[in-house]
Structure 1
């Protein structure tokens, strides 16, 4: 993929194993090979999200843990796109650690989340990423995310 290319949902299906109801990235708006590699992705939050049924009835709020998962999925897209060559076997990226997680605003139906993720360092099969979730220009969540690449057992 060339830098600055937009990636639609069909291409995201090729990058991530997640599917409804757990795929939390709708589109990649921008990818920069770097250094450092970075990605900007989007999630449209709708009232039809299954988690809003119980979190909370009458006052729907996106769970913070799902904001972290969405940022990790954007980091997974970045990890795949930043590789200079295809691995010999398909890989999955597993979330192994979250540091410095901060939440500064609730996310509700109708919000459009933008995920800015930057690769901080690579160590063998592990990557560390700085991730932010924004609504407009306001940061609503941020975290340092560590992911590990492992062979896909389904491949």
Structure 2
């Protein structure tokens, strides 16, 4: 079902608008999108391989779905700025839950706004910082 909804978001009849923006792309339904799965996106050291420039009449989108008894599914990419009859899609996130899934659709119109997750330093970096702090405290001269 989430594939159909994501595909619908990407193919709604758009109207001409301002210059295209850069968005992150992963988990896409289109084989020519850069990057790969959204799991690879979340774990990547840099997200530069996951960027696309959307068409002039598109904005950034992210969907996240949790299906009962299945793995989480995500999609990031470009979506039509306007739907049929020139209606603008509202920006922000909205739930679209069904009896067997919980889905959130997010649309935004600023550069690389569809990350949807905060970047966290790797655990090894945190461990190194704690070790450095402990060493600095241990080697601190007595007053």
Greater helix content: 2
**TM, length-normalised to structure 2:** 0.26
Greater strand content: 1
